[in-house]
Amino acid sequence: MIDVKDSNHYNNTEASIGLERLAKRGNVGAKKVLKELGK
């Protein structure tokens, strides 16, 4: 059985990696989200 906390951590990590890739391509929305997450 998968621990929910572990799967959430994994999903959040995957999402943030995707956002970083988008931000590198100049995606304004992704940059805004990364700033929000960086608080």
- Alpha carbon distance 25, 27 (integer Å): 6
**1-39 pLDDT, tens per residue?**
556 666 666 677 887 888 888 888 988 888 888 888 776
Cβ–Cβ < 8 Å for 33, 15: no
- Alpha carbon distance 6, 33 (integer Å): 22
pTM for the full model? 0.47
Buried b (16+ CB within 10 A) or exposed e, 8-38: eeeeeeeeeeebeebbeeeeeebeebeeeee
Joined together, the tokens standing for residue 10 give 């994994």
